[in-house]
Amino acid sequence: TKHLLARVATHEQLGAWLSVNADAAVAQAQAADARRAAGEQGALLGVPIAHKDIFVTQDLPTTAGSKMLEGYLSPFDATVVRKLAEAGTVTLGKLNCDEFAMGSSNENSAYKPAKNPWDTSRVPGGSSGGSAVAVAAREVPAATGTDTGGSIRQPASFSGITGIKPTYGVCSRYGMIAFASSLDQAGPLARSAEDCALLLSAMSGFDERDATSAQRPPQDFHAAMLQARDGATAAQPLKGLRIGLPKEFFPAALAADVNGAVRAALAELEKLGATLVDVSLPRTELSIPVYYIIAPAEASSNLSRFDGVRFGHRSAVPFDPSDEKKRTALDQMYAHSRGEGFGPEVKRRIMIGTYVLSHGYYDAYYLQAQKLRRMIADDFQACFRQCDVIAGPVAPTVAWKLGDKGDDPVASYLADIFTLPASLAGLPGMSLPAGFGEGGMPVGLQLIGNYFQEGTLLHAAHAFQ
């Protein structure tokens, strides 16, 4: 713990951290030592980790990367945080992220951008950018993240590490600051599938405080990862595994370096015994408009609680009786508080969400998007009749330069094309390092499984690693 705290201090320029509590971490490490001395065992006992700053914590401030929540201290710990603490992990601090997890580069953080340790002129991906940087720069062996439309998988891919978003409902959302509730899922980012499996086992499980928590017995993902497949041999541990390649995940526009690294990884999986089959996810492109209607719609509702009264920053601007819009003191206070507290991307999403939910537009946008969402999920089920796992790239390019997509939100939305489908369907997806592309930057391989098939993903990833 002390070694890593020193490393956190020397790597400050990477911008991964929003808060660090060294004294509390050392005390937790000593408590873990005492538990171990008393005979307790456990893979995570005494392991230093850190949490994306979107999980509320009692001991450290929680900002969700927003000025709206600057200095906010939660009266309770998120379930994921509590469970990991019970497993004996040591929390070094909270990690940078895009504001309210809205973004793909961590540049939407209200505090600072995080920088990719492989090339500090590039983004680490987002929204769990700080989590990916902290793991990739060896500041912590593992970190938590959240994934609404790719925010675990894409930063893992850009930063050369492994991350898994489990099936919707596997990890409790209690205490995870809500972005789009029907999509938000927690998961780990770590150096390997094995480390992810250990974290996920501790983080997951039914929680009566989350109405969408999956009612299933606790799962040992590490055991599932090690579980040998029927007919597997030592040389061919993946014998019989059918990997589906959706043709829409390999479009002509896919960057050649990404395509090359992903194809090379697929060839390795074939050597391990897997067979590759061609499949189709015909609505892949539609996942972008569908997601960017549903996610902002839910966000506009979830973010209404930040009004300067119940939650969030309260503006100091005094009442203006000569207000040209003739707003009441209360309305002025709301407008100033939200205007000052939220950043531009969050405001954009609130506007989009409010628009698509409003009378007269609801049927044309929101309802239509919901219908398509179901069809996208059905397309996956058709694929899973032909294969066990779906594979493809995580993102169409390697990590881009800081500022490159800064003033073009749509360019950033389009880069989410390969992660959004699994999110909309609620399916588990993971990213593992496949190789390197342009500029020596990491390229991730994405594996998507059927509902609750995290074990199959982890098994394949572990065999590959």
- Interface pick for ligand GLN out of 15, 149, 187, 437 (rule CB under 6 A): 149
Residue 123, helix vs strand vs coil: coil
SS3 at position 136: helix
450 binds ligand GLN (CB under 6 A): no
145 DSSP assignment: E
Q: Which residues contact 316 (CB under 8 A, 6 or more apart)?
A: none
* 20 vs 186, beta carbon nearer ligand GLN: 186
Nearer to ligand GLN, 97 or 224 (CB): 97
Site for ligand GLN in 175-204 (CB under 6 A): 179
Considering only the stretches 135-143, 144-152, 220-228, 432-440, report the one whose residues sit in contact with ligand GLN under the rule CB under 6 A.
Answer: 144-152
| Nearer to ligand GLN among residue 125 and residue 435 (C-beta) | 125
Catalytic residue among 74, 104, 105, 127: 127
Please check whether residue 457 is in contact with residue 138, taking contact to mean a CB–CB distance below 8 angstroms. Answer: no
Half-sphere exposure of 23 (CA within 13 A, CB side): 2
- Using CB under 6 A as the binding rule, whether residue 63 contacts ligand GLN is answered as no
Q: Which one of 151, 159, 213, 300 is the catalytic residue? A: 151
Token pair for 148: 């609404």
Among 61, 65, 129, 150, binds ligand GLN (CB under 6 A): 150
Question: Are 308 and 341 spatial neighbours (Cβ–Cβ below 8 Å)?
Answer: yes
* 147 contributes a contact to ligand GLN by CB under 6 A: yes
Site string (412-441) toward ligand GLN, x via CB under 6 A = ----x-------------------------
* Interacting span for ligand GLN (CB under 6 A) from 145-153, 226-234, 241-249, 254-262: 145-153
127 binds ligand GLN (CB under 6 A): yes
Please select the residue that binds ligand GLN; options are 20, 25, 56, 102, rule is CB under 6 A.
102
The residue among 150 and 163 lying less far from ligand GLN, judged by its C-beta, is: 150
Closest by Cα among 97, 87, 77 to 31:
87
Q: Of the listed 52, 83, 165, 405, which one is catalytic?
A: 52
Kindly tell me which residue out of 103, 169, 205, 244 binds ligand GLN, with binding defined by CB under 6 A.
103
Number of residues engaging ligand GLN in binding (CB under 6 A): 13
Nearer to ligand GLN, 32 or 346 (CB): 346
Lookup: tokens for 4: 């890593």
Stretch that binds ligand GLN, among 42-50, 58-66, 149-157, 396-404 (CB under 6 A): 149-157
Q: How far is CA 413 from CA 103, 172, 192, 328, in A?
A: 8, 27, 28, 37
Task: Give the nearest distance from C-beta 462 to ligand GLN in angstroms.
Answer: 24
Longest dimension (CA), the chain: 79
Is the CA virtual torsion 377, 460, 124, 398 positive or negative?
negative
Active-site residue 127, yes or no?
Answer: yes
Min. distance of Cβ 153 from ligand GLN in angstroms? 9
Burial 40-64 (b: 16+ CB within 10 A, else e): eebbbbbbbbbbbbbbbbebbbbbb
* DSSP conformation letters of 312-376: S----PPP-TT-TT---HHHHHHHHHHHHHS-HHHHHHHHHHHHHHSTTTTIIIIIHHHHHHHHH
What the block records as the tokens of 446 is 């994405």
Residue numbers 380-409 binding ligand GLN by CB under 6 A = none
CB of 134 to ligand GLN, least distance (A): 17
Binding to ligand GLN (CB under 6 A) within 286-305 occurs at: 295
| Other residues' Cβ atoms within 10 Å of the Cβ of residue 306 | 24
CB of 182 or CB of 275, closer to ligand GLN: 182
Q: Examine residue 127 and say whether the peptide bond preceding it is cis (omega within 30 degrees of 0).
A: yes
60 vs 102, beta carbon nearer ligand GLN: 102
| DSSP label at residue 305 | G
Distances (CA, A) of 246 to 57, 138, 281, 316: 40, 34, 6, 53
Shortest separation between residue 174's beta carbon and ligand GLN, angstroms: 18
- Closest to ligand GLN by CB, 1 or 128: 128
Stretch that binds ligand GLN, among 72-80, 101-109, 331-339, 451-459 (CB under 6 A): 101-109
Closest CA to 202 of 222, 225, 174, 176: 222
Q: Which of 106, 148, 172, 446 binds ligand GLN (CB under 6 A)?
A: 148
Using CA atoms, how far residue 383 sits from 130, 242, 269, 277, 278, in Å, is 34, 11, 19, 10, 9
204 catalytic, yes or no? no
Helix axes 22-37, 2-10, angle to 10 degrees: 160
Catalytic residue list contains 74: no
Q: Which residue is nearest to ligand GLN (CB)?
A: 151
Q: Using the rule CB under 6 A, give the single segment among 113-121, 147-155, 379-387, 450-458 that binds ligand GLN.
A: 147-155
Residues involved in catalysis? 52, 127, 151
Contact footprint for ligand GLN (CB under 6 A):
101-104, 127, 147-151, 179, 295, 416
